[in-house]
Amino acid sequence: MKKLKLHTQILIALILGAAFGAFFHVDQSVLVVATTVGTETAKHEVSGWSTLEIQTGDSKQIFTSREGAQVLRAWKGLPKDKRPTTVLTFQSEGKEPQQFTGVTELRKEKTIATMIRPIGTIFIRLLNLIAIPLVLASLLVGAASLGDIKKVARIGAKTLVYFMTTTALAISIGLVLANVIQPGKQVSESSKELLMAEYQSDVQSKIATELDINIVDMFVEMIPTNPFRALANSEMLQIVFFAVLMGVVLTFVKEEKSGPVIRFFDGLADTMIEMVHLVMKIAPYAVFALIAATVSEFGFEIIQTLIWYVACVLLGLVIQTTVVYPLLVKAFSSMSPLTFLRQLKPVQLVAFSTSSSAATLPVNMETCETKLGVPNSITSFVLPLGATINMDGTALYQGVAAVFIAQVYGFDLSLAEQLTIVLTATLASIGTAPVPGVGIIMLIIVLKAIHVPEEGIALIMGVDRFLDMARTVTNVTGDAGGAVIMASVESHSLRQNA
């Protein structure tokens, strides 16, 4: 039998994983209580409860069954020494209350689908492990081969223009869709109250995050005071700065001294790319595990309430990914837009299942080089930079989300406010770290700028995980588009390997 292509394998894994996760889904209404009284330990599954009272000393907290996530947080927030004396009382309609003391653990039920998550986590960790040495080594070699600081600056400037343009385009698409579809007008008052109650405490922790975007500071902080600390803390922009600087300066040094250094990093970069090949062998299994775990824990009911909002974001992401980038690729390079999309499939599938542009970076670099024929000197510069600052999917989503929340609160946004969204969402997406779930935190900046209550993010939190997966696909596709276009405008021929 002919071996299936990798992206077909991953796609099959994704579909099977989703089905597996849906079959072994976690029942949101079941809580598992583990107790130890004396020497006796026991595990109880409590289902069908309507209220739960958590009593510690004199303080009492009461939750309804709709507030499952908050119950777990309240429990985790209790000091460890208070837990054994805490009394949990579950009330169920028409049944005797159930009371527990000596509780050692309170959690949601686990299913086989959530238990296999570590396979996926191992994959994400392996990809992250490759990313930092790969970026440092290949960018350094790339910069050394360009050799000319003016050339680096020219490519840098063009790349930034591309990033800014595509981001602004993405937000504009989001805004147009949100204004036409008006998803916020489709949410009833009762759904709004329910969503707000369910996610309120989540919001508090997110709002507490210190947020500030300052362009001048961003430029200053691009310069690391200690490159090793930058590497250790995965400060991508600082690593990019250091690698470019060192690469360029190496060309000023005598061959006798610079040769071994460049060859060392060249060897390191090749080794890392080889490691991507190896790690991708487990991709289908990892994707299966990641999707199964996510689907099994996901409360699907919430998608129904927010269906118009979800549809609006997804439609925007699809347009950006399958129309805007391919058109740009067609306009500015000799590559066929279809080849571009076809070859990127594995990258997009990895982005979807890991929700992280940083974890996807090694796969994106490898694919752009070997499948799309973009020279290493371009991929190693454009892609790490893109993964860090170019997040078109995130920006589009922030645009839609801001308008959606404003609509639910009954605010009419003026044209000036919509332009403020374009500006702040561009900056917020630049500041978003390429890891799961950061986009929603940066959305707070956008909401603040247009004076919409930031508590509004409670409305969209329930579907954020899913939209995070989708927007990451757009983020990485935009970066790859940038690499292809930069290679062409810098008149490198693309040696495609279709």
Given the rule CB under 6 A, which residues bind ligand ASP?
355-357, 391, 394, 432, 434-439, 468, 471-472, 475
Residue placing its CB nearer to ligand ASP in the complex, 432 or 488: 432
Minimum distance of ligand ASP from residue 391's CB (angstroms):
5
What residues contact 452, with CB distance under 8 A and at least 6 apart? Answer: 402, 405, 406, 409, 411
Residue placing its CB nearer to ligand ASP in the complex, 11 or 467: 467
Structure tokens at 464: 């954020």
Measure CA 140 to chain center. Answer: 27
Residue placing its CB nearer to ligand ASP in the complex, 106 or 401: 401
Measure CA 308 to chain center. Answer: 22
Cα→Cα distances 110→68, 116, 126, 272, 290, Å: 15, 10, 25, 36, 15
Minimum distance of ligand ASP from residue 185's CB (angstroms):
25
Minimum distance of ligand ASP from residue 124's CB (angstroms):
11
Contact in structure between 269 and 137 (CB atoms under 8 Å): yes
How many C-beta neighbours within 10 Å does residue 254 have?
A: 7
Tell me which amino acid residue 477 is: T
Minimum distance of ligand ASP from residue 400's CB (angstroms):
13
Minimum distance of ligand ASP from residue 478's CB (angstroms):
10
Minimum distance of ligand ASP from residue 190's CB (angstroms):
29
Minimum distance of ligand ASP from residue 430's CB (angstroms):
12
Rounded Cα distance, 296 and 312, in Å: 24
Residue placing its CB nearer to ligand ASP in the complex, 283 or 358: 358
| Residue nearest ligand ASP, CB atom distance | 439
Rounded Cα distance, 471 and 468, in Å: 5
Please give the sequence-ordered ranges of beta strands (E in DSSP) within 1-131, or none if there are none. Answer: 31-37, 40-46, 51-56, 59-64, 87-91, 98-100, 103-108
Residue placing its CB nearer to ligand ASP in the complex, 13 or 425: 425
**Residue 95, SS3 per DSSP:** coil
Residue placing its CB nearer to ligand ASP in the complex, 369 or 468: 468
Residue placing its CB nearer to ligand ASP in the complex, 11 or 313: 313
